[in-house]
Amino acid sequence: MSTLIYCKNSIAASPYYIEEASLNVYSLEELSYFILNNVYLLSNKLESVELCNWIGRELKQKKLSEDLMNLVQSNAPLHIFVGHILASNGYASPKEIKDLLSIIATFENKSESERKKMRADRLMKSGKYVDAIYEYETLLSEDVVKTMSKTVEGDVYHNLGCAFAKLFLFDEAVKSFDEAYKKNQKKQSLYCLLYSIRCMGDKELFDSYIAKYQVSPEYVEDVREIVKNATVKDEILSFNQSIQSLVKEGDNDRFSQVVAKVIDGWKDEYIKTCRI
């Protein structure tokens, strides 16, 4: 772990190995940190006799170990088991625990592929596009993809395409949306495919996909209009007007400063978006 965690409880001489994350933890606080930050990696494998014994033996938490063992033996839901761990050491706030258990309750009975897709979707929603791409590509490369319906697999490709497009990687976005439409046959995926090609400015490729999927002239016009409108939003027009005004004023130094400031802002935003 790269984060410093203050541990007020016992530190284990021998760590507990979390197979799903290839991670060793040495305390209840570290275990809680893992749970809070990797909620969609959790599965019923965590609710094990081995973990209960480790907590009792290595961390000297006999009462907690016994309570957790009773939950294992009674096949208690995962969110109840996790709740006992989080409430035992004070690492997480009551609100954090409540929110996390609510999330676990929504997916604990879902398949592994569904959980992984939910994790990737959550990363996507929070703007962590690079992490989301990694999760989607990992999911699509694993055997669990064979258990998905074609529609769900297509939806994963669609979301992958959206993540690439957010990073202006339109070549990769086109490939992903193409796979998405082949599998889910959804109009949204076809539109996003054509949007991405229009953003690339590749007319020949655009025309080839129109022919490939026999897109109606009405749909084609919709796509052209939407992409066109996206380039004439008020913020863009206002920015263009400001730049033109500076050019007319002939103040080259001020012009350079304003443009440099805008470009630096774009760089900072892009770096933040790409941060892992």
CATH number, position 157: 1.25.40.10
Nearest to 189 by CA among 218, 169, 209: 209
Is 5 inside a domain boundary? no
**DSSP annotation of 81:** H
The distance from CA 147 to its chain's CA centroid, rounded to whole angstroms, is: 21
Is 11 inside a domain boundary? no
C-beta of residue 248 within 8 angstroms of C-beta of residue 236:
no
Q: Which residues have CB under 8 Å from 128's CB, separation 6+?
A: 275, 276
Rounded Cα gap, residues 171 and 161, in angstroms: 10
C-beta of residue 229 within 8 angstroms of C-beta of residue 195:
no
Mean pLDDT by 10 residues, the chain (276 residues): 58 90 90 89 88 96 96 94 92 92 85 82 86 91 83 95 94 97 96 93 94 92 84 66 72 74 73 62
Rounded Cα gap, residues 156 and 184, in angstroms: 10
pLDDT of residue 234: 63
Q: Do both 251 and 219 map to the same domain?
A: no
- Domain with 205 in it: 112-230
pLDDT of residue 3: 56
Alpha helix ranges (H) inside the chain: 28-37, 49-57, 62-73, 78-87, 94-107, 112-125, 129-141, 150-166, 170-184, 187-200, 203-212, 217-230, 234-249, 252-274
C-beta of residue 197 within 8 angstroms of C-beta of residue 215:
no
Q: Do both 135 and 26 map to the same domain?
A: no
Is 7 inside a domain boundary? no
Rounded Cα gap, residues 175 and 166, in angstroms: 15
**Model-level pTM greater than 0.85?**
no
On average, the pLDDT of the chain sits at 86
Q: Do both 74 and 121 map to the same domain?
A: no
pLDDT of residue 245: 75
Is 266 inside a domain boundary? yes
In the chain, the number of structural domains is 3
The distance from CA 249 to its chain's CA centroid, rounded to whole angstroms, is: 46
pLDDT of residue 1: 43
